[in-house]
Structure 1
Amino acid sequence: MRSAGSEAAGARNGGGGRPGRGRDGPGQRHRAGLAGAAGRGRPGAGSGAAGKCRRPRPARAQSPRGCPRSAGQGALSPGCPPRPPRSLPVLAGRRDAVFPPEPGGGLSRYRGAPSLGPRPLLGAVRAPPRTGTPGATLPLRAALPVPVRVAGDSRSPPGASAGRGRPERRRGPAPGRGLRSGHGAGTGYKRHRQRPAHGAGGLRPMPRRREVLALGSLCLRSLAQHMQSLWVRDYSDNYLDEFQFRFVMGPFNDLPGSAVQELLRVLAESRRLSRAALHLLLLPQLRELSLSPCPGLASNGIARLLALRCQGLSSLDLRGCSRLSPAALEAVVEALPRLQRLVLAATQAEERVLSALGRRCRGLRELDVSHCRNLAPPALRCLAFDPLHRRRGCPALRVLLARGLELAGDGATAAASALAFLLLALPCLEFLAHGSVPDALRLLHEQELDGAEDADGFPSLQEAARWRGAAPGGHRLTLPLRHVEDVEEPDLAVVRAMCPQAEEANVWLSNGTSTAELQRWGSLSRLTLGCAESRVLVGLVPVLQSLGPHLQSLTLHGFCCHDGLALVAVLAACPGLRAFSAELHLPPDTGTDSGEPGEEPPRRDTDPLPRGCPQLQTFSLTLTGGTGSGLALGTTLSPTLTSLLRHAPRLQRLCLLAIPFPLDPVFQAVLAAPGPPLQELQELSLAGSCVSARTVRLLLASHGRLRRMDLSRCRDIHRRDYDGFLQSVRKQRLDLDIAWE
């Protein structure tokens, strides 16, 4: 049954009313959302009406201008002749939905809840292909709360413009007006022409956009966010301080060890790791554990749980966990025989802890006991030999860090003797970090070995040397050290003779001494050189010409740089560099311009490094001292930096700190050069340098993978510039962090 008002509305809309309201005449139009309300399925709908509706229709509410609207959930009759859909349109309005194909084929679109506001909700109706008998009804489905966009549709969803990153309002057609025929009719959207992609290869001229995290990472972050309020709440409220459990069967027992390790890392970085969470996450499947981000949580109770539950650990970091007693540390070491890496720096470790390490952890490879107040260099011998059981220990130890354990006065001799014993007793030791290592090497080189047994029961140096196969009057003893530190220039000959396989060395050059011994050290691939301020940079060129072809890393400290030509010579001598770092001093007159007022500046080579450093990945340059504007230094150093950046295609980290001359010409020339300059750059630090906001915008618009930019103390960057950079990053959703102060 239908009401008279509905019949009148149907006759008024489907009959001989205004053109475009019926389905019979040319240029036929119909009102969106009626699903063929004016057509063949209703009596009195028009001149071409045929047949009757097979079941009564529910009453329809009247909308403005007489447009019938659905009153609640019901059934709509597609009485109009269907047309094959050309594409899947997107509904206009707030409450539309797109439904999957019907069993008979085609797509159906239904209007959901009425629009909020005085205007009725309008949308395009695309009926399925004509199948079945006329007047068949389709069930009305529940509308989704938000519009659904189907892949392949070229129209933009509500509130977004195609090819733009800002929201845009779009209104549908006015109530009571017909919809234009054709593609996208009645959707209420404007057709936007897609903007072409910028740059070569269709790449957008911006740093990398913020990537969507993997599902596993998102789940772990959600766990970390709700850890205290959901996952450990019951345990912390009812059991934490009242009971002591050996094992807890909680919600994390089924997680793999790698997921638990990552969850602990996320909790520690976000400062959400609590004592209760640590109780639940100390699980047997853990293989790596680091408590250095939260040393305050490491107590003797946690140490007991660690020794009971995590006996399969291969890496343990307890740096700074000073609350752990020596007895607790010893118990942990005794319970973890599979340890390969252990960090005990700045803890209460004592000699008995090292004795337990030597007895139990036969596979230990890396150990850090730096800055342990209860340890002295003679106590380190317990790692290599157990005087109680007369057995050698830690046969696989490769790295031993013992910085901060130096002894002054007569203790220096005892420290050198103890380190010499370690160098002889540990057959695989490659790096021993201690200030007395050069003295120990000199002691072994001069063969001043004591034949008497130590009072504490340790073997003599002569017996330890026989373990190495050395005998008095036999071949000279050598060591497998690969990295040596704190080597002074007078000790170069001794260190080079004792460590012929060394690949990395930190050397301090004295004033006025020769570097001939350093030039003969051909096995070096990583070199760090330091000197006083009076030594010029150009004096290193002969050394680097001998070592440069094999060097992969070069670090310079304290050298004086008068112009950029010395830096050109240094870089040209090391073509295979992968990392370069220099902290150079400027002479007092560098900042002032030289030359007569009318004198022409000398011509400089615009490409002083034509071959560049094709393997360079890290470049850091810091200039300290000097006065004035630095224009005199910039005339020679600017072309050097420009040429270097042009010919460094693998550069990932660039630091130009406290540069006194403007860097704008350097970056403008590099970015304007042909090819993909700075394409692999990920970190850029310009702290304290002269750079403008325009250059920063050019860097933001470059084709690269920039993730971090440091503009601290840049006097030409102001607050409004920094706010503009942040707004651009947020607007483009870039994966970029910018620091400024």
Structure 2
Amino acid sequence: MPQRSSPATLKHLSIVSIATHMDNLWAADYIHNYLDQYNFWYIIGPFDTLPSHLIQELIEFLVQKRQLGRRHLHLMIHQHLESLHLGKCSSCMTDAIIKLVQIRCKKLKKLDLSRCNRLTSYAMSMALSYLPKLVYLNLYSTNCTDEVLGTIGAICVHLRDLNICKTHVTDKGIVSLCGGGDSVRGCRKLVSLDVSFSPKVTIKGVKHALRQLPNLRQLLHNDVCDALVALHEEAFKEGKTAPPYQLRSGTVNDFVVPVSFLEIVDLVCPYLEYIFVLNENLEGEVLHHISRLTRLRNLSVSCTDSVVPFSEGLVPLLNSVGHGLETLTLYGYDDIDVIAIGQSCPNLQTLTLESCRGFKLKHAQAATSTTLFGNLKSFRLGVEVISSTHDTAVPESLKIILEDSRQIENVEITNVDGFTDQLFRHVLSHNSFARLREFALIDCNNVTGASIFELLEGKNRLQRLVLLNCKEVMRRDYDMMMKTVASQHFQLEITWT
């Protein structure tokens, strides 16, 4: 059964107590006697001995309760902080507050200013010029400009992770950041750079970043694949061999990679761990090149047209790289064989079958003698067309996936009429879902509240139950579930419509 509510920890109770009495006790003296009367760059306050993670928890709790004010940040930003995430309190962030960070936080290693768009580029640039120890910086959706990147490239030379997504930077700023132009140093230690949705950064800037940052593992921009192809072609024309890049991702924001990149993928990016491809490209030389990515951990394949059947395109690829896969996402297939997936991908932890149109099972009897999906932790199934009640492939596929998934934590099933009470009870008799935390049924019209109650009575760790538009789960079922949660003190959130 779901976990029962447990007493709050002493740490949490302390955070709640401090937040509750913030203005009338902890910050009272400062508010009454000094606020708006003097400009203090240094204050010995009540929070100076709190480490970074406790300051962060206190800030986030005050934000959650909508109680955080600039007066609180005046006291909580102190000289011993090594980490400060201010993205959730962007409404309080002004040039005066970032000035406090600049003056006080000399030891800061991690700084998050995401969505703090009230900060001027000048104030950000000045603050960063005093923070040379930064290794993580998030400037997502801020007023970051080329001048700010110039400061970062000159001062924050130990930076490893930078997010400048949705900013005003250009290719000139990328050159200042990475070095190699007029810049003397540059952030050569960068491992992750997110410059996606920054329209003024072109393929020229992306190519410069790839050339100058030898440790880069992640570069997020829509032109990354085209830039890699261009660099490969330039090296070929010069009679040279382009060095293999260290990138781990071959796409950004689930954009499908072009065929021109797939044709050289194993040469330019042999260490790829994630890639999103079209099913129609899984043949010939392209399939051969993708199959050589021995470090692939996350594979997404979209099937817009069934040009290459599942068995002829995806199965050979899974036979080559499936043993290392931890995440597999398939879109739009109409001939999925879950047995082939389970046999080829024994270490799979996340399986998503989205907008599926059908399943096919081969050698289903032989598969029952072997354990499939033993390491699966998350499973999501979405059927585009409601399956016929005579189509046995869908419920049989669900049985195969769910029966032996002893490690499963999250399940979401959408638009599957083949998911019935009988099927659910059969699965529960074989698998108690001991680690289950989230379970969601959406538009599944042949399951009733009776079988859901059996899930609630089982030995699991359920924390969230979602039942949306399931016609046979009635209001009275929902009311009884809520009464059970209240009487048993379950720590369970139930959503029903």
Q: With structure 1 as the length reference, what TM-score do the two structures score?
A: 0.62
Structure 1 partner of 2:212 = 425
Q: Deviation at 1:719? A: 2.7
SS at match of 2:84: strand
Question: Using the alignment, how far apart are the partners of 1:722 and 1:230 within structure 2?
Answer: 44
1:698 corresponds in structure 2 to 454
Corresponding residue for residue 561 of structure 1: 334
1:578 matched to 2:349? The reply is yes
1:343 aligns with 2:138: yes
Q: CA deviation at 1:273?
A: 1.9
The structure-2 alpha-carbon separation of the partners of 1:715 and 1:334, relative to structure 1 and needing over 3 Å to count, comes to farther
Per the alignment, residue 294 of structure 2 pairs with 522
The aligned residue for residue 7 of structure 2 is: 212
1:145-156 matches, within 5 Å, as none
Corresponding residue for 1:403? 196
Cα distance in structure 1, aligned partners of 2:236 and 2:98: 42
What is the rounded CA distance, in whole Å, between the counterparts of 2:119 and 2:475 in structure 1? Answer: 47
1:669 corresponds to: 426
1:611 and 2:371 aligned: yes
Structure 1 counterpart of 2:324, which letter? Answer: H
Q: 1:275 to 1:719 in 2, by over 3 A?
A: farther
Query: Contact conserved, 1:540 with 1:570, CA < 8 A, in 2?
Result: no
Aligned to 1:541: 315
Shift of the alpha carbon at 1:345?
A: 0.8
Pick closer, same or farther for the CA change 1:313–1:716 going to 2, 3 Å: farther
Answer whether contact 2:232 2:241 (CA < 8 A) is retained.
no
State the structure with more CA Rg: 1
Partner of residue 505 from structure 1, selected from 275, 278, 281: 275
For residues 477-488 of structure 1, the aligned pairs below 5 Å read 477-485=243-251, 486=255, 487-488=257-258
Is residue 56–residue 84 contact of structure 2 (8 Å, CA) maintained in 1?
Answer: yes
Offset, 1:237: 4.8
Between the aligned partners of 2:159 and 2:52, the Cα distance in structure 1 is 21
Q: 1:630 to 1:312 in 2, by over 3 A?
A: farther
**Matched residue, 1:3:** none
Corresponding position of 1:140: none
Give unmatched runs, 5+ long, in structure 1: 1-205, 408-413, 451-471, 591-602
1:632 aligned to 387, 390, 393, which one?
390
Counterpart in the other structure of 2:88: 293
Matches within 5 A, 1:220-235: 220-235=15-30
Deviation at 1:376, TM superposition (A): 2.5
**Superposition map of 1:116-195 within 5 A:** none
- Distance across 2 between alignment mates of 1:642 and 1:549: 22
For the residue of structure 2 that corresponds to 1:484, the secondary structure is coil
The equivalent of 2:476 in structure 1 is 720
Deviation at 1:513, TM superposition (A): 5.8
Q: Does 1:679 align with 2:450?
A: no
Q: Deviations over 1:631-672 (max 9, x none)?
A: 234x22212222322211111122222323334223211222
- Code of the residue aligned with 1:524 in structure 2: it is L
Which AA in structure 1 matches 2:333?
C
Instruction: Identify if the C-alpha distance between structure 1 residues 511 and 477 changes in structure 2 by more than 3 Å, giving closer, same or farther.
Output: closer
Aligned residue in 1 for 2:400: 643
| Whole-angstrom CA distance in 1 between matches of 2:469 and 2:225 | 41
* Structure 2, unaligned runs of 5 or more: none
Partner-residue secondary structure (3-state), 2:264: helix
Alignment CA distance shift 1:526-1:609 (3 Å): farther
| 8 Å CA contact 2:179, 2:188 repeated in 1 | no
Measure how far apart 1:444 and its partner are.
Answer: 1.2
Is 1:738 matched with 2:488?
no
CA contact (8 A) 1:209 1:735 kept: yes
1:436 aligned residue: 223
Deviation at 1:320, TM superposition (A): 0.9
- SS of aligned partner of 2:152: helix
C-alpha contact (below 8 Å) 1:316/1:342 kept by paired residues? yes
Which residue in 1 is equivalent to 2:178?
384
Indicate if the aligned counterparts of 1:267 and 1:273 stay in contact, CA closer than 8 A. yes
Q: Taking structure 2 as the reference length, what is the TM-score of the superposition?
A: 0.90
Q: Aligned with 1:432: secondary structure?
A: strand
With over 3 angstroms needed to count, the CA separation of the structure-2 counterparts of 1:283 and 1:210, relative to structure 1, is: same
- Superposed CA RMSD in Å reads 2.7
What residue in structure 2 maps to residue 274 of structure 1? Answer: 69
* Alpha-carbon distance in 2 for matches of 1:267, 1:606: 57
Whole-Å separation in 1 of the counterparts to 2:355 and 2:159: 40
Report the Cα offset of residue 381 of structure 1: 1.9
Shift in Å, 1:364: 0.7
Distance 2:155 2:367 in 1: 60
Count of residues in correspondence between the two structures:
486
